[in-house]
């Protein structure tokens, strides 16, 4: 399976959070058994790959120790890979990435783009694995302090330039460009308006010439959009209809992949969008 080869639709990355404090599922899959069962359900629903993570990156989250993160993800990766899943490990730590690849993971999804652990790029280069590098400025416990984009071009120009700098670092470390996927990092050191601005203008990021993965699923900017003006955001599990509209937009833009929690709903939204696009102008 050539993960980075175009397919005519975004690849669907199903999220498996093996954490007790995830924003999206509240620790529902914190045990290995529950996480594996959930991963198998996502595969049955049509996930192209599964993203296994053992560290919550919600705003304000504190980091687990390395041994705890390893204990969370490695058994789940081993079982799901053995079941035939294409597995991505969601980690910022080189040690976890190395162990995950040894357990059967094929992709490293690093939300820090190599900034959190200086050894990450070396590990990825040595393994020859595809590498998803996200735009990132700081760890979750203080990332909101860095949600400022006051320079000319605003958030779009800043994300483009900072990702371009990370690509240079990856290439210098020996990671081949054809193995790199970029992620604009919706919700990471970004306020709601920043996320919408990025979604409305991804072309400068696509102009970097590398595939894009976008993760909007269940994020707070959707909840804020849908909630009452003077009330709380729409609950996490009631944001899927708005997310389907975002997926249709991303499908039309030709992004490489989308990171989602509800795989079946995502595949449905993508299929309908592709069906319409394939018939446009035929009448």
Q: Which of 78, 190, 259, 267 is catalytic?
A: 259
The domain that holds 204 is classified in CATH as 3.20.20.20
Residue 126 lies in a domain: yes
**Tens-place pLDDT, residues 171-210:** 999 999 999 999 999 999 999 999 999 999 999 999 999 9
Q: Is 190 a catalytic residue?
A: no
pLDDT for 3 equals 83
Q: Is 219 a catalytic residue?
A: yes
Question: In 3-state terms, what secondary structure has residue 280?
Answer: coil
The alpha carbon of residue 154 and the mean position of all alpha carbons in its chain are separated, in whole angstroms, by 22
pLDDT for 25 equals 59
The domain tally of the chain equals: 1
CB 119 within 8 A of CB 169: no
Residue 4 lies in a domain: no
Residue 5 lies in a domain: no
Residue by residue, DSSP assigns 21-70 as S-TTTTTTT-SHHHHHHHHHHHHHTT-SEEEEE-S--STTPPPPPHHHHH
Q: Which of 9, 166, 179, 219 is catalytic?
A: 219
pLDDT band at 135 (very low <50, low <70, confident <90, very high): very high
Residue 3 lies in a domain: no
Range of the domain at 186: 11-281
**Tens-place pLDDT, residues 144-176:** 889 999 999 999 999 999 999 999 999 999 999
Q: What is the DSSP letter of 107?
A: E
Q: What percent of the chain clears pLDDT 70, i.e. is strictly above it?
A: 97
Checking if the pLDDT of 137 tops 90, the result is: yes
Residue 57 lies in a domain: yes
Checking if the pLDDT of 70 tops 60, the result is: yes
Lowest mean pLDDT: which of 26-35, 111-120, 205-214, 262-271? 26-35
Q: What is the dihedral of CA 240, 249, 132, 235, to 10 degrees?
A: -20
CB 96 within 8 A of CB 66: yes
């Amino acid at each position: 399976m050539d993960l980075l080869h175009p397919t005519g639709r975004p690849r669907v990355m199903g999220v498996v959070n093996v954490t007790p404090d995830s924003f999206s599922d509240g620790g529902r899959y914190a045990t290995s058994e529950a996480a594996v069962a959930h991963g198998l359900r996502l595969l049955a629903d049509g996930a192209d790959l599964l993203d296994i993570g053992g560290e919550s990156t919600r705003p304000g989250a504190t980091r687990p120790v390395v041994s705890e993160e390893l204990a969370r993800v490695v058994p789940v990766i081993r079982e799901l890979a053995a079941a035939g899943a294409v597995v991505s490990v969601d980690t910022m730590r080189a040690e976890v990435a190395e162990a995950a690849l040894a357990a059967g993971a094929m992709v490293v999804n690093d939300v820090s783009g190599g900034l959190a652990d200086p050894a990450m790029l070396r590990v990825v280069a040595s393994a020859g694995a595809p590498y998803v590098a996200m735009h990132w400025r700081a760890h979750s416990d203080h990332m909101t302090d860095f949600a400022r984009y006051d320079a000319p071009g605003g958030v779009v120009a800043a994300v483009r330039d900072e990702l371009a700098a990370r690509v240079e670092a990856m290439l210098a470390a020996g990671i081949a460009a054809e193995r790199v996927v970029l992620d604009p990092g919706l919700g990471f050191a970004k306020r709601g308006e920043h996320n919408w601005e990025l979604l409305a203008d991804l072309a400068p990021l696509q102009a970097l010439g590398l595939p894009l993965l976008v993760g909007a699923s269940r994020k707070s900017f959707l909840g804020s959009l849908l909630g009452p003006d003077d009330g709380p955001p729409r609950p996490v599990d009631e944001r899927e209809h708005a997310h389907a509209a975002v997926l249709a937009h991303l499908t039309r833009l030709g992004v490489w992949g989308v990171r989602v929690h509800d795989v079946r709903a995502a595949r449905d939204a993508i299929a309908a969008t592709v069906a319409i696009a394939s018939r446009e102008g035929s009448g």
